Amino acid sequence: MELVLALGIGVFTASGVWLILRPRTFQVILGLSLLSYAVNLFIYAMGRLRVDAPALIEGSARADPSRFTDPLPQALVLTAIVISFAMTALLLVVLLASRGLSGTDHVDGEDR
């Protein structure tokens, strides 16, 4: 499970960096999205990968912390998803305005 997750994070990161280095703005936006997905997966993996483990301790009894997942990375990833959605929407609006003003969708504003 950990190997698959590490490979997935690596593929998202490599694809995101490759797309960020492309000359068109839409590809840059997709690259930023892929990088944010990779960071979200990395943060989620930091909270220990446990299947069918509760996130909260029930009652006031002292419990073994290794039996539970850490809820903080899950909350951070949920917040990051919302922020990245808003950032992507803003970047798409800026992309459309830039294309309308310059007539091209290249990052540097020049057609080659």
The stretch 37-48 carries a mean pLDDT of 87
Query: How many Å apart are CA 60 and CA 35, to the nearest integer?
Result: 40
Q: What is the percent of the chain with per-residue pLDDT over 90, rounded to a whole number? A: 45
- Exposed e or buried b for every residue in 78-111, given b needs 16+ CB within 10 A? eebeeebeeeeeebeeebeebeeeeeebeeeeee
Task: Indicate the pTM of the whole model.
Answer: 0.78
- Tokens representing 2 are 């950990």
pLDDT tens-digit series, residues 45-61: 887 766 676 666 666 66
Domain boundaries along the sequence of the chain: 2-50+68-102
What pLDDT, on a 0 to 100 scale, did the predictor assign at position 106? Answer: 85
43 contacts 77 by C-beta, under 8 angstroms = yes
Query: How many Å apart are CA 70 and CA 6, to the nearest integer?
Result: 19
- Tokens representing 79 are 């917040």
What fold, for 2-50+68-102? Answer: Helix Hairpins (1.10.287)
